[in-house]
Structure 1
Amino acid sequence: MKQRSPSRLLLLVLLALLGACGLEGGAVQPTPPPAVPTPTQAPTADPKNQGWIVGLTEEPLDLYPYSYAARTASALLELLYPAPLQIVNEAYTTTGVLERVPSFENGDVAYVNTSAYLDPTGAITQTKTDVITSVRQLTVTYRWNKNLRWSDGTPLTAQDSVFAYNLLKGSASTPQIAIQSDLTADYVTIDDHTTKAYLPPLRDEPNYLETVWIPLPRHKFAEDTTAQAVNDTLARQPLGYGLYRLEAWIEGRELNFIRSDTALDPAIPAKLTVRLYPDLSTLRDDVLSSRVDVAWTEQMPDTIAASLQADTRAKTLQSWMIPTPIWEHIDMNLAVVALQDIRMRHALAYGFDRAGLSTSIYGADQAVWDSWIAPTSWAYGGTAISRYTYDPDKARGLLDEMGYTDTDGDGLRENPAGALFALKLVTSEQTALREIISDRFIANMADIGLRIELETVPTQDLYSQQGPLFQRRFELALFGWLRALDPDGAVLWSCAAIPNQVNNFTGDNFTGWCIDTADQAIRTATGSLDQTVRKNAYIEHQQIFTRELPILPVITRQMTVLARPSIQGLQPETFAPPTWNIQHWQR
């Protein structure tokens, strides 16, 4: 079975560490910058000379494409280092960096035969042995745009992408590097504008397009340079190949970009100014007053959600609420006797007003998930899955049926033995969204007579292999996962992914959920490249999953995007940063 536990573990650790830095919506929030002075006048009205004014509430830590904080800066990195491939409308598309999206149909994704060593058990090993066999290996060919230039005028070549691979392969410094290293057995140049990735032998990996490496300017560094040296050099003085280059960075106030002399689209505005704001409310004010053209933030809009909706109806600004890849959920440890009864798990689901929670934070119930696969995914179960709409009376009925009743009239239920019943919810400390979710969950559970005791722990402790998740020392746990374009799921739901001493406490099946039919379904879904086979298997798995409910999906975090009424061409996406199509923005 395909194992990707190191990559998934690192994704979880990333969320944890970002949470410790003040994560809200998955973005690092440094010490709040000073308030931005209000400009004395709006930008010039001449669209031919007018540059873009962009507003943000999160200042990037750096502008290095392989930084651990790259997600925070993704929209600005897209101006400097446009991604070779972007995910738009739940599918890969080109950005002009590559000539086309590799696929089996166009021949850029293909199998080759290769030799591999076998260990005494017959398994493939990297260690040289006396037994060699011939196996198939998946390859991906990437064809780079021949017109790309670094902003200093140097032609970009395939060697720049391979330079990044050789510099960073095997590193676990960021989740994305770990994932790419895990997927890429080798990465080589075919010619000056073509690279080829080789996946590990016998690895039929649906995420094969994650083997492309963002180029780095090889010509700026000595042959014996180190990854740290490249990071330190490019972090605040980026040298990219995108439409813009960084001109100035006034920390805590603004970043100024100018059109690159080597931009593939010279018709874009000559300047782009990024202004930093302390909060969404101030940002909204400057969009309404036309001091900012486009803005986005992952701060929760709860206090002004209704105002943003009114603005949109009045057409004084445009607004979008876009789901991010981060989704929050509550894991239920099936080692806890009370949670082994499916009625208890269903009672928790029916008793939690997730739609009301979403509406109070984002102004609508669109953030609620019913499965572990996003409703927009090709693999979503649709009408085949079970749903748990808020129904406290049904929750009370299930608890009564189980023998959990309030025998002393204090509003809280006792277990069938007559003792006060309580469940403990553990989550990361100092994470604003999880504080809101926890408070609402505790209040909703109290309404149906259940006592929930909250425990917050340092995020490093929560996600540590010695912590409550991997050691399975919890009853209920609230935390977040990052979704990918391909659902994968083996490391989340397979029986082999339950952390224990035998597997050195790896795998993310923290609930300990193991049902043969579900295990077989997830193995089928993740062990094939046949889309029809995979979709049917994912639907079968979600049917079982939503019936059994080992975890309760809560909400997916949202990004707020604002724009002046006259701005056209924006296409906010879940996976692609807001600037992915900036060349198509118009006034």
Structure 2
Amino acid sequence: MPARLWSHVIMAAAIAAMLLAACGAPQTSTPSAPPQAEGAAPAEPTAAPAPDAAATDAPQTATSGGTLRIGRTAAPDSLNPGVWYLAEAYEIIFLVYDSLIATNLRNQAVPQLAREWSVAEDGKTWTFKLHEGAKWHDGTPLTAEDVVFTYQMIQGFDSFGLIKDYTTLIERVEAPDPTTVVIAFEDTVANTDERFSGVPILPKHIWEQFESEQEALEFENLEMIGSGPFRMAEYRPGEFTRLTAVKDHYLSPPKIDEVIYRVFGNDDAMVQALRTGEVDLIIPPETVIRTLQNDPNIRVEIGDALSLTDIIFNVTEPENCPPEDGQCTGHPALRDVRVRQALAHATDKQQLIDVVKLGLASPGLGLVMPGHGEAFHAELQDYAYDVARANQILDEAGYADTDGDGVREMPGDPSRPLRLRFSYPSDQFGADGTRFAETLSAMWREAGVELNVQPLEADALTSVCCPAFDFDVILWGWGAGVDPASLLYILTTEQIPTGVSETGYSNPEYDALYEQQLVTVDREQRKELLFKMQEIIMRDVPYIIPYYGQAVEAYRADRFQGWVIDPEGVLALSDRISLVEITPVQ
């Protein structure tokens, strides 16, 4: 499922699977593939290979126990599954909670709370058989009634963060017995893997106390009673989160005893903590990769990721401004598609990749990524870096520099220069954000557009972003889910008041295509719809996607071993796939 990115890399798999392991090197189970809906792709093997030999040092003595310490530069924005947006919250929530199914490092569906599942001939009715013995962290048995309650509660709310969309089009959810769940859709649905893996199952006996949506969304959820392989032990906002292993977990009891997420004030402090052994795993900035690779006790892994960095334009029209939360103070020039197209021409993506990512990225096109396979519109024509063309577009549109200060003004209103507020999450992006802002500012200045850089911490940036729309341009990013449309819903009109839409973009044609692809299970027909949506986004430029980043993670090879690495999958060392498998080195 999607999540707003942490710094430097980025979200890998959408909802990672727990992989069963035998003794010795990590192994994975191969469940029987569930039947496919008519017109769906044939099932493929779901097991990931054992870690590549290069992923760890020479074999060392392994034991159970130990505390893994993970360094981050930003804290979770919420522990409530209905409120979180940041990846720092995502990784904790999906260690503590289970979903019906999960996806492995190759984005293939595998069991989690459900041990098996099937779909009826009509392609609309799904039956899940749950693992027996699953229980909540307070000891209460987990039953199918909890699953039914979770889906029905979220369905009944107008908003439930990034999760709400996964409960649309559901006609009914039933529990014929304590270990069986039936989910029936109104029509055939294309993105079922992402839907079933994207909803954390919540305990009915905890959440049924809330009589209103507001009460549920205001719930801090500090105890986080879940059913996952780790339980909440201690949480100090802005400092650390400590989780303890559920040693009797029904599916994948972790081998380690604890995992602690520690928040650092900046990249330098986090990197130094890795070097000194204060933490065991981090996402390092690209600038220190070479030096870390020279440390004999540290290993750096670089791999694929379903992630992107985006330049977000506030294009909210006054009539679409959310009545309750919207401020909608965006610069009016950004509502002119010609201005956005000109800025796209003024953006040198390769230079940004070289300066900010040190080459560890590829030029971006849109919200569907190469990792989404055939649904990625690889032939889409991007805006060539051409400053002369950018200036020509702005000249012809009437944006002149009448006072000769190098900054253009609104047509007919020289008192309104094209000076744009530009923000990025300083705690997440760190030095990357500074380099990006400096580089982009110089590029756009050549087209007569000036940036007023205003770094904000992620929580503050969320408050001005969505649904307030109290900004001009934001640099941020997304980690995508397994389905190619996992980020496309962000641009639908209905998401403007929910806090999911970042741009305020509204296009009835786009909305209709999105709804149509949701219920189109024929691969070729759906691909055609997805291509049209990508073409519309490229034409209208609510975003500029400068690059698709690679995943980079660094860990202490002298502290823990057994990390699950699939050369053909995404890199996700900090996901539960690895965290239930690793063991201390002695």
* TM-score bin (small chain): 0.5 to 0.7
1:578 counterpart letter in structure 2: D
The residue that corresponds to 1:240 in the other structure is 226
Structure 1: distance between partners of 2:407 and 2:423? 26
What is the match of residue 124 of structure 1? none
Q: Is 2:119 the counterpart of 1:108?
A: yes
Paired position in structure 2 for 1:5? none
Q: Distance in 2 between matches of 1:292 and 1:490?
A: 36
Question: Aligned letter for 1:580?
Answer: I
Deviation (angstroms), 1:189: 0.5
In 2: Cα distance, 1:370 partner to 1:236 partner? 39
Matched to 1:146, the amino acid is: E
Tell me what 2:264 maps to: 277
Percentage of pairs with the same residue:
17
- The alpha carbon displacement at 1:568 in A equals 3.9
Counterparts in 2 of 1:262 and 1:551: CA distance versus 1, 3 Å: closer
Give the root-mean-square deviation of aligned CA atoms: 5.2
Instruction: Confirm or deny that 1:441 pairs with 2:440.
Output: yes
Q: Residue in 1 aligned with 2:313?
A: 331
1:508-587 aligned within 5 A: 510=504, 525-543=517-535, 545-546=537-538, 549=541, 551-555=543-547, 561-565=553-557, 567-571=561-565, 573=570, 578-586=575-583
May I ask how many residue pairs the two structures share in their alignment? 502
1:355 CA drift (Å): 3.5
**Residues 1:357 and 1:291: Cα distance change in structure 2 (over 3 Å):** same
Check conservation: 1:318, 1:565, Cα contact below 8 A. Answer: no
Gaps of 5+ in 1: 1-7, 28-44, 113-137, 470-475
Partner of 2:370: 375
Per-residue deviation, 1:578: 1.8
Instruction: Give per-residue Cα distances to partners, 1:407-440, cap 9 Å, x unaligned.
Output: 9875556899997994353566876757775554
1:385 CA drift (Å): 0.7
Cα offset, 1:529, TM superposition: 1.8
For the 8 Å contact 2:99–2:201, the answer to whether it is kept is no
Residue 226 of structure 1 deviates from its aligned partner by 5.5
Query: How far apart in 1 are the matches of 2:235 and 2:410?
Result: 60
The question of whether the paired residues in 1 share the 8 Å contact of 2:387 and 2:447 is answered with yes
What are the equivalent positions in structure 2 for 1:140-219 lying under 5 Å apart? 140-151=126-137, 154-172=140-158, 174-199=160-185, 201-202=186-187, 204=189, 206-207=191-192, 210=195, 213-218=199-204
Residue identity in the other structure for 2:373: W
AA aligned opposite 1:444 = M
Partner Cα separation in structure 2 for residue 412 and residue 207 of structure 1: 49
* Equivalent residues of 1:421, 1:451 under 8 A apart: no
Separation in 2, partners of 1:49, 1:152: 24
Say whether residues 1:348 and 2:343 are aligned partners. yes
Where do 1:18-417 residues align within 5 Å? 47-57=62-72, 58-60=74-76, 63=79, 65-66=81-82, 68=84, 71-89=87-105, 91-100=107-116, 102=117, 107-108=118-119, 111=122, 138-151=124-137, 154-172=140-158, 174-199=160-185, 201-202=186-187, 204=189, 206-207=191-192, 210=195, 213-218=199-204, 235-249=221-235, 252=239, 255=242, 257-262=244-249, 264-265=251-252, 268-296=255-283, 304-312=285-293, 316-320=298-302, 327-331=309-313, 345-364=340-359, 366=361, 368-378=363-373, 380-393=375-388, 395-396=390-391, 411=406
Range with greater deviation from structure 2 (52-61 or 404-413): 404-413
Does the CA-based 8 Å contact 1:404-1:414 persist in structure 2? yes
Q: Deviations over 1:510-539 (max 9, x none)?
A: 45667x7x7886665445221221113322
1:366 is displaced (CA, Å) by 1.4
For residue 372 of structure 2, give the secondary structure of its aligned residue in structure 1.
coil
Distance in 2 of aligned mates of 1:337 and 1:272: 48
- The change in CA–CA distance for 1:225 and 1:394 in structure 2 (over 3 A counts) is closer
SS in 1 for 2:91: helix
Q: State how far apart, in whole Å, the 2-side matches of 1:579 and 1:231 are.
A: 26
Deviation of the 1:281 alpha carbon: 2.4
Amino acid corresponding to residue 443 of structure 1 in structure 2: A
More deviation, 448-457/138-147: 448-457
Gaps of 5+ in 2: 12-59, 318-331
Aligned residue for 1:197, secondary structure, equals: strand
478, 485, 488: which one aligns with 1:487: 485
Structure with more contact order per residue of length (Cα contacts < 8 Å, sep ≥ 6):
2
Normalising to structure 2: TM-score of the pair? 0.66
8 Å Cα contact 1:259/1:271 also seen in 2: no
> By how many angstroms is 1:463 displaced?
3.8
Tell me the alpha carbon deviations over residues 29-65 of structure 1, each in whole angstroms, 9 at most, x when there is no partner.
xxxxxxxxxxxxxxxx963144142223344466555
In the alignment, the residues of structure 2 paired with residue 223 and residue 405 of structure 1 have an alpha-carbon distance, to the nearest angstrom, of: 59
Q: Secondary structure at the match of 1:563?
A: strand
